[in-house]
Amino acid sequence: MTANLPLSGLRVLELAGLAPGPFCGLLLADWGADVLRIDRPSPKPTPTNDLLTSHKASIALDLKDGRCIAVLLSLVRKADVLIDPFRPGVLEKLGLDPTTVLLKRNPGLTVVRLTGFRRDGKYSAMAGHDINYLAASGVLSMLGPRDSPPSPPANILADFAGGGHVAFTGVLLALIQRQNGKGNGKGQIVHANMVDGVSYLGTFPRLLTKEPVIWSGERGTNTLDGGAPYYACYECKDRGKYMSVGALEPQFYVQLIQGLGFTPEEVVPGALDRQDRRAWPYMREVFTARFKTKTRKEWEHVFDGTDACAVPVLEHREMEDAQYDLRPMVGLSESPARVVERPWKGQPLRPGEGGEAALKDWMGWSKGRDYHVSANGAFQVVEEEKSRL
């Protein structure tokens, strides 16, 4: 099956980093790429904190050691992609400038440089995390309830959607350019950052802020940001269990009202008019009360098979208990991705795990002849062999 994967034969060097870089590598690996993670050496090679390691191998390199740099540069010659997760200037300080060093070694290489902030903005040299990138993108200001501080959706939006996934898209575009004739087989540098990635993902809601109906009000008062009572979540009779409601269209809203069991006498003219924002507070009040009259399971029975757009809010623990089938994000009929290897519990790599086999496959190298592993776990070229690298 491996030979039929879309990215089969692609070789990727993933410099170890936090969530977005490994996620980009995971996406490439899931679609068939051979991903070799470059970890930092440690006297006691304990597993990394990274759980996004499916279908990857690892070697440990001390990038301040010339013998380790020699290993990396040899691998660069054989690689198609290198993932750089560092702050601006780090690769350059290591003597690994993408333009003057890496692309000189391998003109067909795609170097994806993934940062949090823009490389040329006032925050470029600063540390940050998902919440900070969301803040700088303008998207965080749109998230959360009214009269409360903005609320980030964990670290999913910037780290993974605007970061790792956007970088993955950039890699695919660069590879297409390389092989379609217009690129003449040449690689290029892909610049990705989470601020621009998230800002682009927010194109639709940003444009809607100029429209008078859907998203022009304060945060938490609009149709799609929790303001509308027919686009919200409601607690059920069993405490802590919720139903999601997204009955935006009139015909779906009618089915929601019917499913909730409102009688003609209860539907006071105008009181449940979805287009009248003055009715929203009353609607939310009666929806809240009505959902608490049944358990979530009972509401599932009511709404399953209808177009009321009412679906239970599932929790990961119950999905795992039910052996929910987690799948790749998209299905291709002729070249599907690898199955999700560890759907519920990740397995960190130990630095160097699978490294000997990877160096044998990539380079034809053998331990002791072409390289050795130092006391701190770093893979180093054998001194007398340096001249032929």
Q: Name the region of 235 (left: φ>0; alpha: ψ -120 to 50; beta: rest).
A: beta
Neighbours of 47 (CB within 10 A): 16
Question: SS3 of 360, please?
Answer: helix
The answer to whether 101 and 76 are in contact (CB under 8 A) is: no
Distant-in-sequence, close-in-space partners of 158: CB < 8 Å, separation ≥ 6: 116, 130, 131, 133, 134, 137, 194, 197, 198
Question: SS3 of 60, please?
Answer: strand
Q: Residue for token digits 């990274």?
A: 50
**323 DSSP 8-state letter:** T
Q: Residue for token digits 């496959």?
A: 361
Known catalytic residues are: 159
Q: How far is CA 173 from the centre of its chain?
A: 17
Closest CA to 145 of 80, 219, 87: 219
